[in-house]
Chain A
Amino acid sequence: MKYNKKLRDLVYSLLVMGLSLAISLRMSQIFDDNNQFAAPVFILAIALISRFTDGYLYGIVSSVIGVFCVNIIFTYPFWEFNLTIAGYPLTFAVMLFVSLIISTLTSRVKMQEKLKYEAAKEKMRANLLRSISHDIRTPLASIMGASSTLLENDGLPTAERDDLLREINKDAQWLVRVTENLLSVTKFSGDNVILKKSDEVVEEIVSSAIVKFRKNQASIPITVTKPSEILLVPMDAVLIEQVLINLLENVVAHGEKATHIWVNIECRNGQVIFRVADDGVGIPPSRRAHIFEGCELQQGPKTQDGKRNMGIGLSVCSSIISAHGGDMTAENNEYGGATFSFWLPYEENCNEHCITG
């Protein structure tokens, strides 16, 4: 990675220097050996190099080369290095100075960008922690309450006892799902994102997610539409499966009155697009802007009727997708319900893999 960048910087610098040399030579031909253009052209080249390469090295080296070029090629006596020309030290100083200033400015801008990015990440992490603690505390309180009720009251009627036990079980399952998401998040903390990418058959991941979703949820019908050819797409299968499960569960948790889920897979322009649509109430306008940020708890205790926050779920989804180099969106459908869609990058040479039989 780093090596590639260095190579890129080097190639870029050489190209720019070469180009400015060519321009200066052409200019001196056109304008009859009048070489006053050479110095400004090289200064511009040095500015460009300092701006678009990392660190100071390329800028400084280019300014030294620039000075020599101007001196040797474009200053009388031609093709000779001559230190005695008046103003020569000034040209050298100006070129070096330009290179240093621009390199410094560039580094500073880059540093600021990095700080800004860090701050955004920190904010996201804080939001996540906030919604996680909320997500965990509610079911824990209910588990504690139910279990101590069971321990302290011997004579509870069987029906009531079973109710409490079922409640404990349900909350524990919820906690399991929250921690699954947390585990996925840990893959993204720190700078090195660990994606275990391999070529996966898209429909296999989708069907596996549906089977897992079925284990926990009611029997809401799901219709899947997919292309007839078998798509092999590079992805971290476990994480993408998690995204799909989250989106399906989100329909049940939030798409009130949803009676049907449509999963659509489409392949076009180097993208595989996944859509999960429902016919529920859709996304409330107040939540739409921040739906992937996992922080809709900030408005206080607005979580209505014990509907639990899927905030973490969705923000996990969106960070998984961006780590894959894709993007995720949420919108309301024209005829009711919501559609969550995401795409993953995909190279369309799959036909060679599509073995039939």
Chain B
Amino acid sequence: MSIVLRDKILIVEDDPGIGKFLKANLTANSYDVVITETAKSALAMISSHCPDCILLDLGLPDLDGNQVIQNVRGWTKIPIIVISARSNEDDKARALDLGADDYLTKPFGTVELLARIRAALRHTRTNLENDEIAMSGCYRVGKLRIDYRKHRVYLDDVDTNLTPNEFKIVALLGKHAGQVLTYKQMLCELWGPSVGSDNKILRVHMANIRRKIEPNPDEPIYIFTEVGVGYRMAEEEK
């Protein structure tokens, strides 16, 4: 008999209905689930339970969810997935900039929820941002292949002829595949913190990239737009 080690998820959610369905769903998918309704008890539970992943509702009764993120990021890299209501893209971007790993918009489907949790857990399994890239020097999704050694991106083994700047953008998204990167994060990573908040150049580059790497740029399958927030590279479930 072997001991099954299950990932522990902490749910911080003040709505009992949503809490209940999250718990039922995650338990059914063999996660250990701890649930709490307030930010203060969440902070205590994070240090006592050491969860593998935190699902955090931004609208909590006692503290602003962003304060929880800031506090937690002060001492640990536990993945945090923010659950937020629609209509405030700025809030999502702010939570991500503060160090949240991902976000889900209410209402969300369970398939999406599980995929995000798996992605978040996968990214913290290793110290490297993406272990596939570390091992093979390539990131693959569908027919797309980002070759980090040659600085080339291939679609169906044909070079897509990205410019150096375009490659930098695709490479960055590939490293964080499955996760949303905000415009701010990308600008800062690509051109340094002094570049400011004007993301027009990034957006125009993205339009050009899509024309080169997407089989149908009007219905992208590799790089998704999170309107008002940023971009996400598709990730293959393994």
- Kindly list chain A residues whose C-beta atoms are within 8 Å of the C-beta of B225: 204-205, 207-208, 211
- Chain A binder among B38-46, B115-123, B203-211: B203-211
CB distance from B219 to the nearest CB of A (A): 5
- Kindly list chain B residues whose C-beta atoms are within 8 Å of the C-beta of A222: 218-219
Most chain B Cβ neighbours within 10 Å, of A201, A206, A211, A238: A201
* In the assembled complex, A268 has its CB within 8 A of some CB on chain B: no
Q: Please, how many residues of chain A have a CB less than 8 angstroms from a CB on the other chain?
A: 31
Instruction: Give Cα A206 to B207, complex, Å.
Output: 12
* In the assembled complex, B86 has its CB within 8 A of some CB on chain A: yes
A354 touches B217 (CB 8 A): no
B203 touches A204 (CB 8 A): yes
Binary flags per residue of B151-192, CB closer than 8 Å to A gives 1, else 0: 000000000000101100000000000000000000000000
Instruction: Give Cα A176 to B205, complex, Å.
Output: 33
- Contact residues on B (Cβ < 8 Å of other chain), bracket: 20 to 34
B208 touches A230 (CB 8 A): yes
B219 touches A355 (CB 8 A): no
- Kindly list chain B residues whose C-beta atoms are within 8 Å of the C-beta of A237: 227-228
CB distance from B88 to the nearest CB of A (A): 10
A207 touches B218 (CB 8 A): yes
* In the assembled complex, B201 has its CB within 8 A of some CB on chain A: yes
Partner of A354, one of B89, B90, B204, B227: B204
Instruction: Give Cα A222 to B218, complex, Å.
Output: 9
A203 touches B217 (CB 8 A): yes
* In the assembled complex, A210 has its CB within 8 A of some CB on chain B: yes
* In the assembled complex, B148 has its CB within 8 A of some CB on chain A: no
Of all chain A residues, which has the CB nearest B201?
A355
CB distance from B159 to the nearest CB of A (A): 15
Binary flags per residue of A20-47, CB closer than 8 Å to B gives 1, else 0: 0000000000000000000000000000
Instruction: Give Cα A356 to B162, complex, Å.
Output: 11
| Contact status of A232 and B227, CB under 8 A, knowing A176-B107, A214-B219, A355-B205 | no
CB distance from A46 to the nearest CB of B (A): 49
Within 8 A of B (CB), among A325-357: 353-357
B218 touches A206 (CB 8 A): yes
A241 touches B227 (CB 8 A): yes
| Contact status of A207 and B210, CB under 8 A, knowing A199-B200, A357-B163 | yes
CB distance from B171 to the nearest CB of A (A): 16
* In the assembled complex, B87 has its CB within 8 A of some CB on chain A: yes
* In the assembled complex, B220 has its CB within 8 A of some CB on chain A: yes
Binary flags per residue of A176-213, CB closer than 8 Å to B gives 1, else 0: 10001001000000000000100111011111101100
* In the assembled complex, A224 has its CB within 8 A of some CB on chain B: yes
Within 8 A of B (CB), among A286-304: none
| Contact status of A183 and B204, CB under 8 A, knowing A176-B107, A204-B225, A357-B165 | no
Instruction: Give Cα A353 to B204, complex, Å.
Output: 8
- Kindly list chain B residues whose C-beta atoms are within 8 Å of the C-beta of A355: 201, 204-205
Binary flags per residue of A223-247, CB closer than 8 Å to B gives 1, else 0: 0101000101000011001000000
B203 touches A232 (CB 8 A): yes
CB distance from A337 to the nearest CB of B (A): 20
B163 touches A204 (CB 8 A): no
* In the assembled complex, B224 has its CB within 8 A of some CB on chain A: yes
Instruction: Give Cα A18 to B228, complex, Å.
Output: 50
A201 touches B218 (CB 8 A): no
- Kindly list chain A residues whose C-beta atoms are within 8 Å of the C-beta of B204: 201, 230, 232, 353-355
B218 touches A210 (CB 8 A): yes
Binary flags per residue of B210-230, CB closer than 8 Å to A gives 1, else 0: 100000011110001101100
Of all chain A residues, which has the CB nearest B205?
A355
A203 touches B218 (CB 8 A): yes
CB distance from B226 to the nearest CB of A (A): 8
| Contact status of A224 and B107, CB under 8 A, knowing A232-B203, A238-B227 | no
- Kindly list chain B residues whose C-beta atoms are within 8 Å of the C-beta of A224: 218
- Kindly list chain B residues whose C-beta atoms are within 8 Å of the C-beta of A211: 219-220, 224-225
Instruction: Give Cα A241 to B225, complex, Å.
Output: 11
Instruction: Give Cα A237 to B207, complex, Å.
Output: 15
Of all chain B residues, which has the CB nearest A350?
B204
Of all chain B residues, which has the CB nearest A202?
B207
B224 touches A232 (CB 8 A): no
CB distance from B187 to the nearest CB of A (A): 14
- Kindly list chain A residues whose C-beta atoms are within 8 Å of the C-beta of B203: 199-201, 204, 232
| Contact status of A357 and B208, CB under 8 A, knowing A176-B107, A207-B218, A207-B219 | yes
CB distance from B188 to the nearest CB of A (A): 18
B219 touches A203 (CB 8 A): no
Q: Which 9 interchain pairs have the tightest Cβ spacing?
A: A357-B163, A224-B218, A208-B225, A201-B203, A230-B207, A183-B87, A237-B227, A201-B207, A207-B218
Interface residues of B (CB under 8 A from A): 86-87, 89-90, 107, 163, 165-166, 200-201, 203-208, 210, 217-220, 224-225, 227-228
Q: List 17 A-B contacts (CB under 8 A).
A: A172-B107, A199-B200, A199-B203, A203-B207, A204-B203, A204-B210, A205-B227, A207-B210, A210-B218, A211-B219, A214-B219, A237-B228, A238-B89, A263-B218, A355-B204, A355-B205, A357-B166
Given A238-B228, A353-B204, A355-B201, 15 more pairs with CB closer than 8 A? A172-B107, A180-B86, A183-B87, A199-B200, A200-B203, A205-B227, A206-B218, A207-B219, A210-B218, A211-B220, A222-B218, A224-B218, A232-B200, A232-B203, A357-B165
